[in-house]
Chain A
Amino acid sequence: MRYDDPTLREVLAGEYALGALHGAARRRFERLMRRDAALQRLAQDWQQLLVPLAQETPSAVPPARVFAAIRHRIETGSRAGVTSGFWELLGFWRAFSAIGAAAVVVLALTTTFLMLRPPAAVPPSYVAILQDQAAQPAVAVTAYKNPWRLNVESLAVTSTRPDQVLQIWAVEKGSGTLRPLIAFTPGQPQEVALSETQWKLIKSAHSLAASVEPAATVAIAPTTPLLYSGLCLNLKGS
């Protein structure tokens, strides 16, 4: 095929911009463009001509985890994998720090030891990655059903004084009302059984948040500023 034929160049550039070239043909055309600036300009002109068509495609809001993954990659220069699977998502956050990695080991050992089913077989229903003000992940909260239970895990160096706990709050959709969910002592991952009322709090939560509260009292409303928060994502669509 003669790539110096003006008509052929025009046609191929148009087909490339439209998306009609696939597989080997597309790769070949891209190789040609790399060493042929005029051909590249031709393809760009076509792309510019056709790009308004993209406006006809309806928009769709991507989930928050996509931007979290992008931000992680541009900040660390690392190559995090796809983040749409839940375990991949947690894997990505855990890769964030050595402590996170240690927590994976601890969690894996604990679950194996307790003869629970392996995590991949029991996907959680809800997950919230609570971040600090600098958007660094601090706490992972995952909710499972059958039976209802919650797993809370520190992802960053979060510690409280012995007389304090990290209180996790459910932030209700719409109203934004904070309701106490559970108290958590940073360190070891913690699994707690949930009552039906607590499960409903999670189901109706827009996000989860955390504040440091005195361990001796049962918190009804935060007495200190919220330290961490993150969207409460429904992974099951139910």
Chain B
Amino acid sequence: MTQEKQQRADILPDLPDLLARCTLRDRQAFAALYQATSAKLFGIALRIVKTRHWAEEVLQEAFVKIWQHAGDYNAGRGAPMTWMINIVRNQALDTLRRADFRAQMKTAPIEDTLPDPANGPAAEAEFSDELTRLRRCMERLGEAQRACLMLVHHEGYTPADVAQRKRLPLGTVKTWIRRGLMRVRECMQAPVGPFDLDT
């Protein structure tokens, strides 16, 4: 860990500690956890469900789950932010298939959901190394293939949505997604090369 990173880590809230205190029903710890992570998680929800109203609902449900299931968090299975992001993403993807959501989105104008820049350091710090590697692996994919993966991941689009937007046959999109996933994983599992160390 570089000195700069060490310094950053020192001023960041200790997310594993906050989660552990949540299991002891420590509401102050929960409030601190919310403070440190809600902007990142709200941004993720907003990108998928597209409207603030629904993103607020997603965030609310997700944090109630985080509070109720804090004891299920297993440090051996990833960083706290990974666990929380997956709860939010699952909640958001579940919302997409809700009948009331679909009915409303048919008639509602699409909001400009470009979120206000509010990147909190706490949520960012956990991933920087992995993100650098992942970005490099994604860059090895063709641009169109990478775009397919991103649209599905970031926007919550189905392969059919992507096919329609990109004017591609659905079969092509599905194949790209599958192959893209496999290639990215292969690349991520490859030993870190001498050039990759120099980041």
Contact = CB atoms under 8 A, between A and B. Distances in A.
Interface in B16-75: 27, 30-31, 34, 38-40, 42-44, 46-48, 52-53, 55-57, 59-60, 63-64, 67-68
A57 B150 CA distance: 11
B43 A58 contact: yes
Contacts of B114: 58
A83 B56 contact: yes
A19 B149 CA distance: 9
Interface residues of B, number: 63
B159 A60 contact: no
Contacts of B143: none
Contacts of B172: none
Main secondary structure of the interface of B (DSSP, over half): helix
A82 interface: yes
B144 to A, nearest CB: 16
Interface in B106-132: 114-120, 123-124, 127-128, 130-131
A114 interface: no
B96 interface: yes
A23 interface: yes
Contact of A22 (B77, B96, B123): B96
5 contacts: A11-B181, A19-B48, A20-B158, A22-B97, A62-B39
Of all A-B residue pairs in the complex, the 6 with the closest CB atoms, nearest first, are A60-B115, A52-B131, A59-B39, A14-B181, A52-B127, A62-B42
Interface of B: 27, 30-31, 34, 38-40, 42-44, 46-48, 52-53, 55-57, 59-60, 63-64, 67-68, 77-78, 81-82, 85-86, 89, 93, 96-97, 114-120, 123-124, 127-128, 130-131, 134, 149-150, 152-154, 156, 158-159, 177-178, 181-182, 184-185, 188
